[in-house]
Amino acid sequence: MTQLETIKNTPYAKKASSYINIINELRRIGADFSVDLPRIVFCGNQSAGKSSLIEAISGVKLPRSDGTCTRCVMEIRLSESIKEWSCQVRLRKEYDENEKRLNKPIETEFGSLIVDPNDVELMARRAQKALLNPKQDSDKYFNWDFGSHNYEEDAQRNAVKFTKNVVCIEIKGPDVPNLSLIDLPGIIRYTEKLEDEKFIALIEELVKEYIHKEKSIIVATISCKDDIDNQAIVSLAKNADISGIRTLGVLTKPDTIEEGTHDKWLKIMRNEAHRLDLGYYAVKNPSQKHLNDGITFEDARQDEINFFEQGSWKKFLLRERIGVVKLRLKLSDLLIQSIIRGLPSVRKEIEIKLSETRQELEKIPEQLSDNPRIEIYRMAKKCSTIIKSKTMCSNNQVDLWQSINKEFEFFIKELYNSRPIFTVGINETEVDILDEFIKTKVIERHYNKNPMLDTTNTTDKLSHIKFTKFNNKNLQKISETQVKEKIKTSRGRLLPGFIPSSVAETLIKETNLNWKTPAISCLNAIHLIVLKLVNESIDMTFSRFPNLIGQIRYIANSWLEECKNLTAKYIDFLYQMQSSDPFTLDERSIISQKSTYLNAFHDILKKENQDPTSTLEIMALTMAYFKISLNRYVDIIAMTIIHAFVDEFTKYIEEKMIEICIPDGKCSLDELIKEDDSIKHHRDYLVNREKDLKEIFDSLVRFGI
């Protein structure tokens, strides 16, 4: 470069270098895969002079030919440096060999450091060839000899004819402008070969992908050789940037304007037609003849100045929009302002994504250790702890017991629905054991967590339950006359006035004939509740191990079934004990309850002017014992289910799960502990994503954002 107006001579240069460097660093580490970064994107129709424009701005020659030369994206990174001029070519792989987008771009150096600008074109061509042969080692092409093959002839020998991967050209030096730009393949509308037609849509989609991003500054290269309305880039840019606030038009090949049409192009240059907020620039680059003659960059810029001082262009007043140097200044300013505006939002977006990634990572099981036995121990411990926390109501986890208590409530209701209703007197007035407790519509248990925490006196159990006014039609009714008949048929060698004790025993046994069925039903219902908890806990802990989860579930469910069967045996024993000869040591309660019911009978007979009989003694005693024995049965059944089923299962479930570590010759621990591939891949992805986002965030922090 010469002392022609360079970026180095502008105020922009004082801060441009650092901002360009941070953007280049963020792209190198893959930040643009996570957030939209400010960038300048050059695009246009094939043969619109885009390659010549890029060369003029960068100061180096790039691969070019009459055909579709650019077969991949090229990224030009320019930054000012006090060191001597140098160039490093890099390969940036964003897609795998099957054109599937990678989770993170892979950027590697290609070849050694270049110190002669004339060597850049060949190395860039070699780098492009390496990308077009993705299954080959890129090192193979460092010193590739193209021989006498031109670009188009050599293209036929590549594995693929086009790739979305990127050749990065990083140039540093004292007279290098601070700028970073992306050169997209030229848009094509037809191909000579039928098999190449697919590239028409492929290149257009690639252009759309780049220019639709909100932080992309679109540099639309428009050839003056063709009508502006016929150039695809114009409509593509309008669709991507509807308001036209981030598109800058560059008119190329002004020497090809047809006679008599200069005014139309000058009107566009004045932004009076096809308006864009960033307006238009005009550049004049060397013709193919001048390029073949080896024109220098300095001479090319002088020829450009001379061209725009002639003819219709001489009268064009907006001289700041004429020439490559002025365009380069504008692009530098646009990019630096975009970076200044955009980096704070980039940091905020990275922070959000980093937080979201870490939250998602917390939901994924941790990485396994190399010892499968330790892993199973650890998971068994974790699973049993989850189950125990629910069954013991740790940290106020009461959902399980809310469900269990509902089953206990239903169990109590079923038992109370088996109570007898005694009728006395001429009118057969009904006396209900629960009359004084029948108040509301639904049963409502008042335990805080589980029945074990209820400290109420056993004989007051009914006061903790609110009952509906049950329909007595379905209950067993025993009349005073029926009791008298039982006494009569049971009398043997007893003296008159004495009542056989067998009458009371018979009545008591008849009232609790069906108490076993509700107890077993209650156990079965609670078994299903606990089974659901167990399977959910196992799924939560072992779901990533398809070979292990089935066996763990079988072991846990078998142990739960064993606990249930043992509890059912206990219930059967308790029922047999309950249904045998009546017995209680609670003499005070039975005397008190008997007296209460006997007084109720006497009050009824008194209203009917009837005298009480000894039969009422038997009836009152039966009612008192029913109430005491029922409360006793309710508690002992509930406690048996809690301790023999729920607590017993919880106590040994960890030990049972660990039994899977005992060798059985059927399946090795390594096979059991083999993790589901989808979970492993997802965790690896999140771990790498967290690492990448943290690297991006740290880079922004170090830069002072």
Report DSSP letters for 466-512, one per residue: -B----GGGS-EEEHHHHHHHHHHH--SPPTT---HHHHHHHHHHHT
Name the token pair of 679: 């979970």
Please enumerate in sequence order all residues whose Cβ is within 8 A of that of 328, keeping only pairs 6 or more positions apart, or say none: 7, 57, 177, 179
Judged on CB neighbours under 10 Å (0-12, 13-18, 19+), 553 is middle
Q: What is the pLDDT of residue 443?
A: 34
DSSP three-state, residue 521: helix
* Confidence at residue 498, expressed as pLDDT on a 0 to 100 scale: 62
Tokens for 387? 């189950």
- The strand pair at 179-183 and 73-80 is best described as antiparallel
Q: Which residue in 76, 74, 269 sits closest to 164, CA to CA?
A: 74
What's the token pair of residue 233? 């880039």
Q: Structure tokens of 348?
A: 């905020």
Segment (H or E) for 444: none
User: Distance between CA atoms of 165 and 26, rounded to whole angstroms?
Assistant: 17
Q: Which residue from 120, 111, 97 is spatially nearest to 141, judged by alpha carbons?
A: 111
Bridge partners, residue 467, by sequence = 438
Burial class (CB in 10 A: 0-12, 13-18, 19+), 182: buried
pLDDT of residue 449: 40
pLDDT at 205: 93
- Give the burial class of 669: count Cβ atoms within 10 A of its Cβ; 0-12 exposed, 13-18 middle, 19 or more buried: middle
Residue ranges of the alpha helices (H) in 132-274? 151-155, 198-211, 232-240, 262-269
Contacts of 3 (CB under 8 A, 6+ apart): none
* Residue 655, amino acid: E
User: Which CA distances in Å does 138 have to 109, 110, 131, 526, 557?
Assistant: 10, 8, 8, 66, 57
Q: Are 132 and 157 in contact (CB under 8 A)?
A: no
Specify the long-range contacts of residues 61-66, CB closer than 8 Å, at least 24 apart: 61/117, 61/118, 61/120, 61/121, 62/120, 62/121, 62/124, 62/169, 62/183, 63/121, 63/124, 63/125, 63/128, 63/151, 64/151, 65/150, 65/151, 65/152
Q: Are strands 86-95 and 166-173 parallel, antiparallel or unpaired?
A: antiparallel
Give me the sign of the Cα torsion angle 503, 505, 508, 510: negative
Output the pLDDT for position 433.
75
Could you tell me which residues are beta bridge partners of residue 171? Answer: 78, 87
- Tokens representing 507 are 């009545």
Q: b/e string for 362-380 if b means 16 or more Cβ within 10 A?
A: eebbeebeeebeebbeebb
Pick the closest to residue 249 from 262, 260, 236 (CA basis).
Answer: 236
pLDDT of residue 459: 38
Q: Which of 70, 43, 29, 61 is nearest to 163 (CA)?
A: 70
In DSSP terms, 422 is beta-bridged to 431, 478
Neighbours of 668 (CB within 10 A): 12
pLDDT score of 191: 78
Q: Where are the alpha helices (DSSP H) in 392-469?
A: 399-416
Q: 115-127 as b/e, with b when 16 or more CB fall inside 10 Å?
A: eebeebebbbbbb
Q: Are strands 216-223 and 39-44 parallel, antiparallel or unpaired?
A: parallel
pLDDT confidence of residue 142 = 93
Which residues of the chain fall below pLDDT 70? 1-14, 65-70, 368-372, 434-474, 491-501, 512-513, 662-673, 675
Rounded to whole angstroms, the Cα distance separating 182 from 92 reads: 13
Q: Which amino acid is at 614?
A: S
Residue 435 has what pLDDT?
A: 59
- What the block records as the tokens of 258 is 């047809």
- CB atoms under 10 Å from CB of 320, counted, come to 11
Strands ordered across the beta sheet of 421-424: 429-432, 421-424, 477-479
What's this model's pTM, rounded to 2 decimal places?
A: 0.64
* Helical residues (DSSP H) of 179-218, grouped into ranges: 198-211
CB 103 within 8 A of CB 128: no
